Amino acid sequence: MITILEQLAEGQRELSGALVAAALTPVDTPTDPNRLRSFYNFSNAAQISTSIRNYLNQACGRVKIPKQELNAWIDLFSAYWKVIGELLKFEESPTRASWVQVFDNWRDLANLLIRGYSNFGFENWTISCLYVVGKYLRIFASKADAEASAQISVAFYQEDAGTDFGKSAKTEEAARVLNRMFTLCLNDRAPLEASRKWGVYYMTNLLFKTYFKINAVGLSKNLLRALSAQAKELPDLEDFPKSHIVAFKYFVGVIYFLDENYGEAEEHLAYAWQLCHRDATKNRELILTYLVPCHLVNTHTLPNKRLLSQSPRLEALFRSLCDCIRKGDLHGFDTAMTASEEEFVRRRIYLPLERGRDIALRNLFRKVFIAGGFEETKDGQTPIRRTRIPVAEFAAALRIGTHADSRTRIDIDEVECLLSNLIYKGLMKGYIARERGMIVLSKGGTAFPGTGV
Amino acid sequence: MSNTQSEDKKAEASQQPQQQKPTVLEEDDEFEDFPVDDWPENETEQASGSTANGNNVHLWEESWDDDDAAEDFSKQLKEELKKVDTSR
């Protein structure tokens, strides 16, 4: 029993893209641990085409596949057979096995597949084949690059020069092939119900991942431009499978995020969050990793405890920082930033999180305002908070917030500077009456906008 | 005496973040393929969280007020102000 060929034949009979794509998935499965081997042993290099042809003629004799198209499928699966030979070497004779070989052969297969669509009439129901071939192209490229760079570092162990060059040569090559697949989907002129346009976001996501990997995030913008130029011809976003859309929105959000455009970033990330599958733990974490800093910058609001407590990773990432911001603990904030600096930088969230210090300071000064209590009022009037506060009180609060010891001096000038900064940023409303050493805050629940007082 | 105590506290404080350093993080922080292509509305995050209101307000802290802490802070602030006065 040769599962791969059965899946191919049944897929063609039933017009099931999922089955043909399953056939093209180059892995053994728990239920079929000999999946690859049985296909490889089915024939040899000289006869594989003929063998596949005979098999298909028998298995789908009654289904008429146009001759050219049939030939293209046979070529495709012959190329597939070759890749599997390369893959099996890792078990048989590991010294002769090579991911570079696997990649090169898989790239040839990818090109045959592209030609199948552009020249030989592969139909859009088989589009999952593009997904699986694109997916493994990226995987094999990354293994090939890792293999090549391991060999280089052995060969030129002490040489410093050119360490970066060619480090991701295969991944870059993969990106070019994936780009052709993307174009193949985007520019399909067939009516929507039979169009490859349905594959465009999946391919975009694969390219995004690839560009992120080779640190070429800038190239992602070309894709976004191409997509928006075709926006009118594409189906509505909501009509695509959610897995395509959630990933797409996540990547677009991250692209804006890296541009420090946190407003746009939050919109896309929030969209991704809302549609994300609730059991997709890791993806939910990744979305929140960027959504939380965005929200902090945009609305000066923290995630609530329940949200963080759902995930140990998010707890570790954000908990102490959020607690310090909430309490106005500047010293704790600085300590938390330093402690996780490496992690924050690696995830590229350091910059927006750093802005949380202003919020911590705002909360500290807000506590001074609350501690100030209310003005004496005549009977029957609603109490009004004390809005004239000596700068010295803010200075004292700053000593508390920074855990200043008795030797540390805090200048009034410095405090005034911090206060005017917060006022300038709209986090506080009021003015400094210098000659009296007072802050005069806005009345009527607007002294600290958005915080209820 | 009070000095050594505060020293101890500092030592504690500087050790804490190290303990909290993220445990092992996977090398690969890539967005994963979803196990299924598509899913119904009621399996989305939106559906599971929106019991009270349609938007995702439930994600974020809505109030900055903490009455217990406010009283403590008030005391702390008074003490700090006294310290400044006496040192003058």
> What CA–CA distance (Å, rounded) separates A375 from A383?
7
Contact list in A for residue B60 (CB cut-off 8 A) is: 295, 299, 301-304, 307
Instruction: Return phi, psi of residue A44, to 5°.
Output: -130, 170
Instruction: Please give the pLDDT value at position A245.
Output: 97
Lowest mean pLDDT among A222-231, A256-265, A266-275, A367-376: A367-376
Nearest CA to A81 among A138, A35, A118, A124?
A35
This complex has an ipTM of 0.83
- Check if the beta carbon of residue A36 is closer than 8 Å to that of residue A3: no
Both structure tokens of A167: 């480090």
The beta-carbon neighbor of A274 closest among B33, B46, B76 is B46
What tens-digit pLDDT sequence spans chain B (88 residues)? 444 454 454 444 444 444 333 333 334 688 999 999 999 999 998 887 644 344 455 789 888 887 777 888 999 999 998 887 666 5
Residue A395 tokens, joined: 């200075």
Contact B44 A363 (CB under 8 A): no
pLDDT digits (tens, 9 = 90+) for A384-414: 899 999 999 999 999 999 998 888 888 999 9
Query: Do B44 and A405 make contact, defined as CB atoms within 8 angstroms?
Result: no
A24/A305: higher pLDDT:
A24
Average pLDDT in chain A? 93
Higher pLDDT, A126 or B69: A126
Residue B75's domain comprises: 2-87
- Give me the DSSP letters along B16-70: HHHHHS-----S--PPPPPSSS---GGGBHHHHHTTS-SSGGGGB------HHHH
Of residues B72 and A260, more confidently modeled:
A260
Between residues 292 and 351 of chain A, which touch chain B (CB distance below 8 Å)? 295, 299, 301-307, 312-313, 316-317, 320, 326-327, 332, 335-336, 338-340, 343, 347
Q: Which of A322, A357, A362, A353 is nearest to A449 (CA)?
A: A362
Token look-up 């280089």 returns A152
Q: How many CB atoms lie within 10 A of CB A164?
A: 8
Q: Which of A131, A171, A237, A277 to mutate to test the interface with B (most CBs of B within 10 A)?
A: A277
H/E element, A432: strand A430-433
Cα of A249 vs its chain's centroid, Å: 9
**Do A449 and A426 touch, CB atoms closer than 8 A?**
yes
Diameter of chain A measured on Cα atoms: 103
* Number of domain units in chain B: 1
In the structure encoding, which two tokens stand for residue B79, read together? 């003490």
Beta strands in A72-179 (DSSP E): none
Cβ–Cβ of B17/A338 closer than 8 Å? yes
Within A212-265, strands assigned E span none
Residues of A with Cβ-Cβ distance to B13 under 8 angstroms? 332, 335
Report the first-to-last Cα separation within chain A, whole angstroms: 74
Amino acid sitting at position A394: F
Confidence of residue A333 (pLDDT cuts 50, 70, 90): very high
CB A179 within 8 A of CB A206: no
Task: Output the pLDDT for position A88.
Answer: 96
Does the pLDDT of residue A171 top 90, yes or no? yes
Phi-psi region at A192: left, alpha or beta (left = phi > 0; alpha = psi -120 to 50): alpha
Interface contacts (A, B; CB < 8 Å): 146
Output the pTM of the full model: 0.88
B85 three-state secondary structure: helix
Phi-psi region of A57 (alpha: psi -120 to 50; beta: other; left: phi over 0): alpha
pLDDT tens digit string along A179-236?
999 999 999 999 999 999 999 999 999 999 999 999 899 999 999 999 999 999 999 9
| A165 confidence band (pLDDT: 50, 70, 90) | low
Q: How far is CA B65 from CA A27, A301, A311, in A?
A: 56, 13, 25
**H/E element holding A388?**
strand A388-390
